[in-house]
Amino acid sequence: MPKIPYTKPHLPVSDQLELLKSRGMLVTDEPRALQYLERIGYYRLSGYWYPFRQSQLTTDGNGLPKTELLDRFRQGTEFRHAVGLYVFDKRLRLLFLDAIERIEVALRVDIALLLGARDPWAHRNSSELHGHFATKRNSRGVTSHKEWLDRLNTNERRSREDFVLHFRGKYSSDLPIWVAIELWDFGMLSTFLAGMKIAELDTIANKYGIPRGEVLPSWMRAINHIRNICAHHSRLWNISPADQPKPPKPSEIIILDHLASDAYAQVRVYAVAAVIQFLLRRINPTTSWATRLKEHFGTFPEAPGIAVGQSGFPAHWDRLPLWQ
C-alpha cells in the first residue's frame, strides 16, 4: 500500500481520555486515569489496551481472509483493565531481569574458568576461538571477533571501575579474561559464547545438562533479547520475541519435552521462561524463581478479551516437573 503523510494532531491528555471514551472504553475514575496518562503516556499504555480492541474478518488485496482490528473496544473494557495489565507486565519484567542476572553471572564465571585456564587472554587470541568468529570476514572485510574486540576496547577505555583503574595503574598488559569479562554486557557475552570452539561450548552446555552445545548460543540470544525488552520497559507478557531459543529435540531433555512439542509456546515468551527456569535449576537448585513466577501469574488481571495463555504458557504449566 502507498504511504501517506501523518496528519493526526497532538492531543492534550484530557482529549486523549475523551478519545478512548468515544471508542467505547469505560472510565470509572477520570482523575486517576488522567494521572496515568500523564505519568505513563498514551502510547506506552496503548500496548496494553490493544488486546481489548474489537476485530472483524475481512479480505486482503488477493482475496484472502484476514483479521482487521477496529478503533472500538470490546464491550466491558475499562481503563483500569489496561492499567492492571501494565502493572502485571512491569512486575513480570522485574522477575525476568532477576533471573537473567543470575544466568549472566554464572556464565561469566564458566567462560572465565574454562578459557582462562588455557590462556589468560583467550578472548583476544583468535586461535582459541571458532574460525567463523575469529577469521571469517564480513562484507566490510572485518571479522566478528574484531568487531567484538573493538567494543570491548571501548568499554575498557571508558571504564572507571575501581578494579580497572587498579589494573591499569599496576600492569602494562591487557585485562585477563577473568577481569575483562566483568565489562561484558549480556550481548557481548552471548556473541562471544557463539564464537567459542565447539568442544568448549559442549563443555559448558553439558554442565547445564544440555546435550548439544549448539543449543546454548540460541538460548543466550533469546534471553538477551528478553533482557533488552525488560531493560527498555517494553511490553513483555504476550509478545512473540524476534529471537527464539532453539527447542530441544523430543526426549533430548525430558523435562523440556512439553516445549519440544508445543509450537505455540516455542514462539511466545513462555519458551524463554522455560529455558531460564531450566538453567536456574542447575545454577541454584534452591531457587525460588518458579514459585515467585507462579505466584505472579496468579495475579493476572481478569478482563474481557485477554487470557494468560496468550503468553504461550500452556494450561496447567505450573504443575509440570520443570516448575516444581
- Does residue 231 sit within a domain? yes
**Contact criterion met (CB below 8 Å) for 184 and 192:** yes
- Walk along the chain (324 residues) and give the pLDDT tens digit of each residue: 689 998 888 999 999 999 999 999 999 999 999 999 999 999 999 999 999 999 888 877 777 878 888 889 999 999 999 999 999 999 999 999 999 999 999 999 999 999 999 999 999 999 999 999 999 888 888 999 999 999 999 999 999 999 999 999 999 999 999 999 999 999 999 999 999 999 999 999 999 999 999 999 999 999 999 999 999 999 999 999 999 999 999 999 999 999 999 999 999 999 999 999 999 999 999 999 999 999 999 999 999 889 999 999 999 999 999 999
List, in sequence order, every beta strand (DSSP E) within the chain: 53-59, 65-73
The answer to whether 270 touches 313, Cβ cutoff 8 Å, is yes
Grid coordinates belonging to 294: 507462579
Residue type, 47: G
DSSP string, 32-87: HHHHHHHHT-HHHHHHHHGGGEEEEEEE-TTS-EEEEEEEEEPTT-BHHHHHHHHH
In a domain, 271, yes or no: yes
23 inside domain: no
Asked, for residue 75, whether it belongs to a domain, the answer is: no
Sign of CA dihedral 234, 189, 254, 244: positive
**Cα radius of gyration rounded to whole Å, the chain:** 24
Quick one: pLDDT at residue 1?
Answer: 64
Residue 188 domain-assigned? yes
* Residue 297 within a domain: yes
- Domain with 255, as residue range(s), is 88-323
Residue 130 lies in a domain: yes
Q: Is residue 39 domain-resident?
A: no
In this structure, are residues 25 and 78 in contact, taking their beta carbons and an 8 Å threshold?
A: yes
Produce one character per residue of 16-41: b if its CB has 16 or more CB atoms within 10 Å, e if not.
bbeebeebbbebeeeeebeebbeebe
Total number of domains in the chain: 1
Helix/strand/coil percent split, the chain, to 5: 60, 5, 35
What predicted TM-score, i.e. pTM, was given to this entire model? 0.92
Confirm if 24 and 275 have CB atoms less than 8 A apart.
no
HSE, CB side, 13 Å, CA atoms: give it for residue 159: 23
